[in-house]
Homo-oligomer: A and B are copies of this chain.
Amino acid sequence: MSGAAETISVASPADFHVHLRQGELAKVVTPHVRQGGFSLAYVMPNLKPPITNTEQALLYRAQLQAIDPAVEYLMTLYLSPELTPEEIRKAAAAGITGVKSYPRGVTTNSEGGIESYDAYDAVFAAMEETGMVLNLHGEVPSVAETNICVLNAEPAFLPHLRKLHAKFPKLRIVLEHATTRAAVECVKSLGDTVACTITAHHLALTVDDWAGQSWNFCKPVAKYPDDRMALQEVVREGHPRFFLGSDSAPHPFQAKATASPTHACAAGLYTSPVLLPLVAHLLESFGALDKLEGFVSTHGRAFYGRRASASDRRVVLRRVSSKVVGIEGYGAGPTHVVPFWAGKAIGWELVEEREQEA
């Protein structure tokens, strides 16, 4: 932090969970990482087909670098039966950072997700050995018979997290996009190898906001007001193992805006283009603006061993009375995407580098 109350600067903001898609959509959304104020993108592997080996991940990174070379892309593999300890060692040697686990069927492109972790002991051991990070989508699939639904799918997952951590205490694990007080308390109770990402939108939303409003619908769904409060509290506390992972997930306008009796809307909120101003705005709304740099840069970078250097770009935010996010969005046709918070005001804006130098 620097300057008067009317500007804030953050060293090298890092988004530790983002969906950059592929093809034409990737060309539209990848530049939004930097537009949203971020220097590092931790890239999810749930493409079609998913990124399951080193070669695919390196190719994907090259594609992203070709779109915007100014961002650092940390790559992940999709946990699936074809992943072997050998592939983990190869991936680690090639600079792939993590492995993402999706429970089967709970979110976008998760049809190939896992049903049990027991089969992956050798993979996790190799990850622990090579220093790779395990990124968990922490939900179990809905099962009506046992009263599991989207509202308690995350608390029901937490025993799996505890078990994994007990079995592989040196394996770095990130519980992604936590949405409940139970998850926050669980991560806090575990060792220093377990961290947790929190999205911008889960700091803003509760279930009331996505009831009948598909533009606020994502997985995991936003929960009770008390859950949101727990997320806000742990950010305000400045807990070093909690940091931003936006889970920014662009979906075409039509897929978000329109449901038919036989087809639901797409799950996912797109925050990349407005991310840093939005996070500043939200943190200020619950008295945590002084924790901004920790939340969007320092904590995550420390956990991942990617500390910002003194020479890294600092991003400057300036207070504005009220800057409304345009509802027109970006792209066109199948790449037309509209960000979260469209039509609403943000109290901060990025100061362009040229402007800073002037």
| A window 308-347: CB within 8 A of B | 327, 338, 342-343
* Complex Cα–Cα for A212 and B221 (A): 10
Q: From A151, which residue of chain B is reached at the shortest CB distance?
A: B207
Contact call A144/B259, Cβ cutoff below 8 A: no
Say whether, besides A147-B225, A208-B150, A262 and B214 are in contact (CB < 8 Å): no
CB distance from A147 to the nearest CB of B (A): 4
A267, CB-defined interface residue at 8 Å: yes
A211, CB-defined interface residue at 8 Å: yes
A116, CB-defined interface residue at 8 Å: no
CB distance from A149 to the nearest CB of B (A): 5
Say whether, besides A150-B207, A207-B150, A207-B151, A145 and B225 are in contact (CB < 8 Å): yes
A265, CB-defined interface residue at 8 Å: yes
Partner of A265, one of B213, B262, B343: B213
Q: From A343, which residue of chain B is reached at the shortest CB distance?
A: B262
Contact call A259/B150, Cβ cutoff below 8 A: no
Contact call A144/B225, Cβ cutoff below 8 A: yes
* Complex Cα–Cα for A256 and B151 (A): 23
Partner of A210, one of B144, B208, B211, B258: B211
* Complex Cα–Cα for A215 and B259 (A): 7
Query: What 0/1 readout, one digit per residue, does chain A (236-272) give for beta carbons within 8 Å of chain B?
Result: 0000000000000000000011111110111100000
Q: Which B residues are in CB contact (< 8 Å) with A76?
A: none
CB distance from A205 to the nearest CB of B (A): 11
* Complex Cα–Cα for A226 and B267 (A): 24
Q: Which B residues are in CB contact (< 8 Å) with A210?
A: 211-212
Q: Which B residues are in CB contact (< 8 Å) with A304?
A: none
Q: From A340, which residue of chain B is reached at the shortest CB distance?
A: B261
Contact call A267/B217, Cβ cutoff below 8 A: no
Contact call B343/A211, Cβ cutoff below 8 A: no
Say whether, besides A261-B343, A327-B262, A152 and B224 are in contact (CB < 8 Å): yes
- Beyond A149-B224, A213-B264, A257-B259, 9 additional contacts (C-beta under 8 Å) are A142-B225, A147-B225, A147-B226, A151-B224, A152-B224, A210-B212, A211-B221, A213-B265, A262-B343
